Structure 1
Amino acid sequence: MRRLLRLQWPMIAVVLIFVVAFGLAAANFWRRGALLIGIGVGFAAVLRLALTDDRAGLLVVRSKGIDFATMASVAAAMVYIAWTIDPLGTR
């Protein structure tokens, strides 16, 4: 179990960010939750860029450049949407 946690810590960290984000969205703080999802994907992109393929664990899908570009694009889109969409009376 410790070996699994040591090897997959990047993915576990990203999943924990997503759990908090979905909790915020479920508690009717959906804009903050969406922003945190974008931040989580951005964090995954930075981890994918900074870590070797062996250390990045389950964040590795394709080549480092493609993974980073895809995740960074999704993160930028999520952060932009979360910041610019009208709250419509929600928090």
Structure 2
Amino acid sequence: MTGSPQRSGKHPALVHLPFGLVMAVVVVGLVRILQYYWREGTVWIGLALLLAAGLRALLRDEQAGLIAIRSRAIDVLSYTIFGVLVIAVALTIEGGPLSR
């Protein structure tokens, strides 16, 4: 079990720090949505996906923790595509009952 957090002398919770950062941004987005600023909240969620893509691109597999799902290339591509799509949809929807 080489490279495990216990053997490398790092605290085991540090492995979950990237996921925690991404989820903190998602929580900001959800709070904004609950405050009836759904467009801004959705953009925050899209930014969380882009943050996950950036962290996945920069961190090694052992450091990425829960944001590492598949290979690095697939993760970065998926997070980036979904993040851009979520932001694009949030910024282009007009009218409807949620308009502000």
Task: Give the TM-score of the pair, scaled to structure 2.
Answer: 0.83
Question: Which has the larger share of helix?
Answer: 1
Contact 1:38 1:78 in 2 (8 A): yes
Give the CA deviation at 1:40.
0.5
One of 88, 91, 94 as aligned partner of 1:80:
88
**Separation in 2 of the partners of 1:30 and 1:4?**
36
Bigger Rg, which one: 2
Which of structure 1's runs of 4+ aligned residues deviate more than 2 A?
2-5, 87-91
- How many residue pairs match? The answer is 90
State the TM-score, normalizing by the size of structure 1. Answer: 0.91
Inter-partner Cα distance in structure 2 for 1:82 and 1:5 = 34
1:5 paired with 2:29, answer no
In angstroms, what is the RMSD of aligned CA positions? 1.6
Q: Which has the higher contact order (CA 8 A, sep 6+)?
A: 1
Unaligned runs of 5+ in 2: 1-9
